[in-house]
Amino acid sequence: MPYTAEHKQQSRLRILESAVRCFLQQGYERTGISEIMQDAGLTHGAFYAHFSSKGELYIEAMTHAAKNGRFTAHLKNGKKGSAWFQGVLEGYLNLDHVEGDESPCPLAFLVTDIATRESDVKQTYTRLYKGMNRYISRQAMDDSKRTKDDIYAVTAMMIGGVAVSRAINDPKLAKRLLHSCKQTAEKILTSD
């Protein structure tokens, strides 16, 4: 008896969620298909019913993580203007995010991993980064006199702040770095 479309979709989602976890924790090179499938509770052979290659899965996992990640979760915080920016920044630039406890952002967690990947992977990362900028630009352009360069600076600071905080082994410094990024981003985005 063939699997239902719903069962196939649930299996695909399990694979994507496992891939997100594994890739965000270990990167592309150190993550194997067998490991992802074991994490998903599925057989290795089931992988090919959903994806043609590990590279394809990596691209789709990045997109899935971005759509369901910390940044996206804070976009609809019910606030407007400066309060909206502060909510987004607070949700993104904090130690819980750095530690990957809840919905880590692939833009920050995979930034160095992406640099060594193929052009289609870089293209996906670029698309996700542009999307992050569009979300913030929509709010910023309606509310103030911010330029696209201001938005690029803020998103680069957000991603870089999380990435650097993950790389250092001094929690006090990491917390200070995140706070500094948040304050500077708020100044750029909310000052008149």
117 and 180 within one domain: yes
Tell me the backbone φ, ψ of residue 147, rounded to 5 degrees.
-100, 170
SS3 letters for 111-176?
A: HHHHCCCCHHHHHHHHHHHHHHHHHHHHHHHHHCCCCHHHHHHHHHHHHHHHHHHHHCCCHHHHHH
Q: What is the reported pLDDT for 142?
A: 58
Number of domains the chain contains: 2
Residue 192 has pLDDT above 70, yes or no: no
Is the residue at 137 inside a domain? yes
- Residues 83 and 41 placed together within one structural domain of the fold: no
Domain check: are 114 and 178 in the same one?
Answer: yes
Same domain assignment for residues 128 and 43: no
76 within a domain of the structure (yes/no): yes
d(CA 70, CA 94): 11
Q: What is the CATH number of the domain that holds 177?
A: 1.10.357.10
Which of the four pLDDT bands, split at 50, 70 and 90, describes residue 52? very high
- Contact by Cβ (8 Å): 98, 174: yes
Same domain for 10 and 103, yes or no, is: no
The answer, yes or no, to whether residue 10 has pLDDT greater than 80, is: yes
Same domain, yes or no: 24 and 118: no
149 and 97 together in one domain: yes
Last-in-domain residue among 33, 55, 77: 55
Alpha-carbon distances, residue 93 vs 12, 15, 100 (angstroms) = 31, 28, 12
Contact yes or no for 177/161 (Cβ under 8 A): yes
- Return the number of other C-beta atoms located less than 10 Å from residue 63's C-beta: 18
Task: Determine, yes or no, domain membership for 60.
Answer: no
CATH number (domain holding residue 41): 1.10.10.60
Residues 75 and 129 in one domain: yes
Same domain (yes/no): 28, 95: no
Helix (H, G, I), strand (E, B) or coil at 17: helix
* 146-164 tens-digit pLDDT: 788 999 999 999 999 999 9
Domain extent, residue 130, equals 69-190
Last residue of a domain, one of 30, 55, 80: 55
Contact 55, 118 (CB under 8 A): yes
Is 61 among the domain residues?
A: no
pTM comes to 0.86
Are residues 45 and 112 both part of a single domain? no
Question: Longest Cα pair distance anywhere in the chain, in angstroms?
Answer: 64
